[in-house]
Chain A
Amino acid sequence: MSKLYSGAEIVFKCLEDQGVDFIFGYPGGAVLPIYDELKNHKNIKHILARHEQGAGHAAEGYARSSGKPGVVLVTSGPGATNVVTALTDAYMDSVPLVCISGQVPTHLIGTDAFQECDTTGITRPCTKHNWLVKDVKDLAKTIHKAFEVATTGRPGPVLVDIPKDIQFNKYSYSKPKKQKKLNGKTNISFSQKEIEDLIKLIYKSKKPIIYSGGGVINSGIEASQLLRELVEATGFPITSTLQGLGAYPGEDNQFLGMLGMHGTYEANNAMYECDLMINVGARFDDRITGKIDEFSPKSKKVHIDIDPSSINKNVKVDLAIVGDVASVLKNTIKTLKKNNSNFSKSNKANISKWWEKIQKWRSVNSLGYVNSSESIKPQYAVQRLYELTKNKDTFITTEVGQHQMWAAQHYKFDKPNRWMTSGGLGTMGYGLPAAVGVQIANPNKLVIDIAGEASVLMTMQEMSTAVQYSLPIKIFILNNEYMGMVRQWQELLHDKNYSESYTAALPDFVKLAEAYGCVGLRAKTPEELDDKIIEMINTDRPVIFDCLVDKVENCYPMIPSGKPHNQMLLGPKDQEENKITGKGKILV
């Protein structure tokens, strides 16, 4: 008979065999046996968050910046319900998370016991899969499977609910089996014919565009490299979704900037006018497409995605290639080069008119803004932050709102996994705990959360975590005292009735920083901004930077709701002339 281990020991043996170094969590009654076992496993470090949502987002930040799955450990009842936001966020943005939750002992399940909730029921729609382990015999197998499901195919969160008695019960341990096919879910293969079809479309196109997304990042560093090769080999322009930023260098001349609701004029117009759209690992999200009936009306659309259900979900495509981005790109480049080793040169004339057109759109300078010498413009703050940090390997997280869009527009990324933002779910309060996780995964790197003052207050308690583990994260708050994006929409749609979007009684962020035991800095004028940013960078402790910015600045350019790509608002003047009426008003 092989050696017997308690359920709690089995949990750690599984984590060790899965290569887990860090778990993010918060203890409670129903996970005490697991927490008790922690002391015997020195190679796994537990990071104590201040709220389970914070633990979840920290694990997301860890996963997105390291490429490894994030592990979360929470207790039953409120522990589990608190982590639901983070699980949903991870589900929307395809982040691999393994959440282990405690549950009341099996004989109490269904009795409305203290801190009992139907965890698997609640998390069913926000995980790829979840399990309630009712027998310690199934525990090891289930946890190994959980890691497999979270990390294969399109990644995502999973949850394993372990009743307290199972944590005490004893059984032998079984190691993970070699990766097998998962109901055919990872065994997705595309055909060479599809690649050939894509090459044919590439040859024919006079107005091509590559539109890349988070799938490139999820596919691994190699995929970003291959994307760069493809762009170079074709000479095509490329635009990226919010989640895809960093897969292609932001300062490269072939890069048109981000597309979508707050994307650049050139990217959106190129999407509208193109005759070939190659979607690489993106999902035709509504923030990208705008009005779907008028989305890129003249183009052949190619969609490369690992998730078959993404194909034809929102937009019908002409050619679907289901597979891992890296392997599809590898094949495409190989085939392209085999047929014509110098395609980008020979094809230059073919698309030169298209590039001229793009340059014209570019000359509009849609990211431009009127700078001021009195107040700090938020765009200017992000630009200065970029200029002063671009020579370091900097990791940026954000909260959600105007500051997030300004960060996406004005901070240029040239490497994948450096940009962590809540895109799908749009979770305010994501950035600070995510920065904690990013810093854990990248101990000696500069990690900055570009934040809004409203968002950051939602998870401010995690500063305490940063201080406890000496994580020198920088919280760069663009403070305009408004929920800026809410105010912008109220301006746009509700006749400037700023209902509840102003935060009165904000805390003094400098004093708050000191109260947490970190460093508080404040910049009020453009002159002092650079010095203060440099001071922040040079501080080897967590910093809250209160950057007082223009209170009424809005985020442009913008595709108003219900409008197609070619009807963008470029600035405040445009807005006056293009009032959103009727149908557009009810869309979000």
Chain B
Amino acid sequence: MSKARSAYSISNKKEKFDTHIIVVWVDNEAGVLARIAGLFSGRGYNIESLAVAEVDKKLNISRITIVTTGTPQVINQIRLQLKKLVPVHNVADFKREDKMVIFKEMALLKIVGKNGKRDRALKACKKFNPVILDKTNKSYVIQITALRREIDKMIINLKKFGLVSVSRTGAVAMTRGSEIFK
């Protein structure tokens, strides 16, 4: 017996899942993140990553960047459902493949080990704008910015150079050129 997804099972056809980056401008008020996250969990949408911060102190606006996957129909629903929320001002939606948009994630990597190993680790990070934030004679804390899958790869790569701890953000996005979202 196959699994029923809803009362009448939406479709038996397998549709393609796309990865989208959804940018939401919201009033920075109590509970707003719970509203967004609740909308996603309540309607069964995915959140791959999430980044939130206030971007306009005066207007009290936060910008939320959500990476999600879904069929075109689901992505469309996510966009429209988000727009219905009262504290939401605007919603923008991009395919991950979109060449006009820059996506970046940041990671902090703690490398512990001998000098040579640590420098090899730093070298391996070269492509991703490494910055040494902290340095002792046993350790480095390196900051890199890259795409999600690049960071995924780096984490595996750096294991052998003494990577002991990782902290990473969700993706943030911005369009190329002089255009802005709003």
Contacts and interface: CB of A to CB of B under 8 A. Distances in A.
Interface of A: 120-121, 124-125, 128-129, 132, 149, 182-183, 185, 286-287, 289-293, 307-309, 311-314, 316, 561-562, 582-583, 585-588
Interface string B71-84: 00100110011011
Nearest to A564: B8
Given A125-B38, A132-B30, A587-B4, A309 B84 contact: yes
B167 interface: no
B156 interface: no
Contacts of B7: 286-287, 561, 587-588
Contact of B83 (A291, A292, A308, A585): A308
Interface stretch (B9-17, B58-66, B132-140): B9-17
Given A128-B86, A185-B84, A307-B84, 9 more contacts: A124-B38, A125-B42, A183-B89, A291-B8, A292-B10, A293-B11, A583-B9, A587-B4, A587-B7
B9 A309 contact: no
Interface in B93-108: none
Nearest to A308: B80
A121 B8 contact: no
Given A183-B89, A309-B80, A586-B1, A124 B34 contact: yes
A583 B9 CA distance: 10
Given A149-B86, A183-B88, A587 B9 contact: yes
B2 interface: yes
Contact of B8 (A125, A183, A286, A582): A286
Given A183-B88, A286-B6, A586-B4, A293 B12 contact: yes
Nearest to B34: A124
14 contacts: A120-B31, A121-B31, A149-B86, A185-B86, A287-B7, A291-B9, A292-B11, A293-B12, A308-B83, A309-B77, A309-B80, A561-B7, A586-B1, A587-B8
A473 to B, nearest CB: 33
Q: Size range of the interface on B?
A: 20 to 34
A560 B2 CA distance: 18
Nearest to B88: A183
Given A124-B31, A561-B8, A583 B86 contact: no
Contacts of A308: 80, 83-84
Given A125-B42, A183-B86, A290 B8 contact: yes
B35 interface: yes
Contacts of A290: 8
Contact of B34 (A121, A286, A582): A121
Interface in B9-61: 9-13, 30-31, 34-35, 38, 42
B174 interface: no
B85 interface: yes
A120 B31 CA distance: 9
Nearest to A563: B8
Nearest to A126: B42
Residue of A182, A290, A292 with most chain B CB atoms under a 10 A cut-off: A292
A177 to B, nearest CB: 16
A290 B10 CA distance: 10
Contacts of B88: 183
A290 B38 CA distance: 28
Nearest to B2: A583
A105 to B, nearest CB: 17
Most buried by A among B6, B9, B76, B85: B9
Contacts of B84: 128, 185, 307-309
A292 B38 contact: no
A312 B86 contact: no
A314 B73 CA distance: 9
Nearest to B78: A309
A533 B60 CA distance: 62
Contacts of B12: 293
Contact of A129 (B2, B83, B86): B86
A583 B1 contact: yes
A72 B84 CA distance: 24
A192 B86 CA distance: 28
Contacts of B83: 185, 308-309
A558 B146 CA distance: 57
Contacts of B89: 183
B76 A312 contact: yes
Given A183-B86, A562-B8, A124 B35 contact: yes
B10 A314 contact: yes
A292 B7 CA distance: 10
Contacts of B4: 583, 586-587
A-B pairs, 8 with minimum CB distance? A309-B80, A286-B7, A129-B86, A286-B8, A586-B4, A125-B42, A308-B80, A309-B81
B28 to A, nearest CB: 15
B15 to A, nearest CB: 12
B82 to A, nearest CB: 9
Which of B10, B13, B42 has its CB near the most chain A CB atoms (within 10 A)?
Answer: B10
A314 to B, nearest CB: 7
Contacts of B1: 582-583, 585-586
A125 to B, nearest CB: 5
A124 B85 CA distance: 11
A57 B54 CA distance: 40
| Residue from the set B1, B4, B6, B73 with the largest chain A CB neighbour count within 10 Å | B4
A564 to B, nearest CB: 10
A587 B4 CA distance: 7
Interface string B140-159: 00000000000000000000
Contacts of A562: 8-9
A586 B8 CA distance: 10
Contacts of A314: 10
A129 B85 contact: yes
Nearest to A183: B89
A312 B73 contact: yes
Contacts of A307: 84
A307 B2 CA distance: 32
B71 to A, nearest CB: 11
A313 B77 CA distance: 7
Contacts of A132: 30-31
A485 B38 CA distance: 33
A575 to B, nearest CB: 20
Contacts of A292: 8-11
A412 B170 CA distance: 56
